[in-house]
Amino acid sequence: MKKERLDKILSHHGFGSRKDCKSLIHSGRVFVNGETCTDCEFPIDTEVDVIRIDDEVLQIREHVYIMMNKCQDVVSSTKDGLHKTVLDLLSSEYKINFLGGDLHPIGRLDIDTEGLLLLTTDGKLTHTLTSPKNHVVKTYYARLKNPVDIANQKEYSALFSSGLNVIAEGHEEAFVAKSATLVWPNENKCEYLTEFGDASSEVMISISEGKYHQVKRMFATVGNEVVFLKRISVGPLSLDAGLKPGEYRELTADEIRLLLG
């Protein structure tokens, strides 16, 4: 059972500042379990009590879970002096203090990477999905500068699967990557044809860690270059194909259950 003050709950659900919420409560428009409540400090059991404002029942929620198709030119952080952040893409409905904590992106995508980015107030989920101990698999679609013919596709696949010695970048040291899986379009009997015939500049890569510029550095290690990168899935959750870059939606109850396990 979790108890919170009535005015705090209202202000964490978009009813304005604590002062605004106090006047709303004093106005007699707020009901708790069917009775008018004018006590701002009234302790609410968030799992049981029903709050109503005029005729509308408040759906009390502790956490928010959002799936975004991150677009390029925004950074995956909550603040940045220079660039727009993923939080700037959200509507005012999400620019409030939530009951369960601050809304933040789960992990990072580079500024020029698109695709699935989860945002939440649930620190436990963030930890589950980002802790290196949990080996959560992330799948990316990558477009490469140099198309790779079938012989080299086999070689790339073997190297990536056996643990690549990834080159250093800037202050980031070289490291041995955990086994990664590559899927080339030709392997799927040319489900989608490339403009290069047998050679493909397109590949899906699945990794279970999240080092700085990991995918780009892995392909740089084998002498190629990633020219476009999009994350398609994180653990059991895939990007909703209906979301255009920069769009987002809340996760469904089933998707939240899938992630929380």
Q: How far is the CB of 76 from ligand URA (least distance, A)?
A: 8
Minimum CB–partner distance for residue 224 and ligand URA (Å): 13
Q: Does 216 participate in binding ligand URA (rule CB under 6 A)?
A: yes
Residues near 195 by beta carbon (within 8 Å), at least 6 away in sequence: none
Asked if 224 touches ligand URA (CB under 6 A), the answer is no
Q: Is residue 67 within a helix (H) or strand (E), and if so which, with residue range?
A: strand 65-70
163: left (phi over 0), alpha (psi -120 to 50) or beta: left
Going by C-beta distance under 8 Å and a sequence separation of 6 or more, which residues neighbour residue 55? none
153 binds ligand URA (CB under 6 A): no
Which of positions 81-140 make contact with ligand URA (CB under 6 A)? Answer: 109-110, 113
3 state DSSP class of 192: coil
CB under 6 A: which stretch of 162-170, 173-181, 195-203, 213-221 binds ligand URA? 213-221
What is the DSSP-derived secondary structure letter of residue 98?
A: B
Q: Is 110 annotated as catalytic?
A: yes
CA geometry: angle 255, 251, 122, nearest 5 deg: 90
Any contact of residue 215 with ligand URA (CB under 6 A)? yes
Pick the closer one to ligand URA by CB: 109 or 251. Answer: 109
Which is nearer to ligand URA, 125 or 166 (by Cβ)?
Answer: 166
Query: What single-letter amino acid sits at 2?
Result: K
How many chain residues touch ligand URA (CB under 6 A)?
Answer: 8
Task: State the minimum distance, in angstroms, from the CB of residue 214 to ligand URA.
Answer: 4
C-alpha–C-alpha distance, residues 47 and 60, integer Å: 8
Residues 29-58 that bind ligand URA (CB under 6 A): none
Q: How far apart are CA 236 and CA 110, in angstroms?
A: 22
Of 153, 200, 201, 214, the residue at the interface with ligand URA (CB under 6 A) is 214
Q: Which is nearer to ligand URA, 110 or 247 (CB)?
A: 110
Which candidate in 110, 149, 198, 240 is catalytic? 110
Between residues 61 and 213, which has the closer beta carbon with respect to ligand URA? 213
Instruction: Say if residues 174 and 221 touch (Cβ distance below 8 Å).
Output: no
- DSSP helix/strand/coil, 238: strand
Q: What does the chain come to in residues?
A: 261
| Catalytic residue IDs | 110
Q: Rule CB under 6 A: which residues touch ligand URA? A: 109-110, 113, 213-216, 229
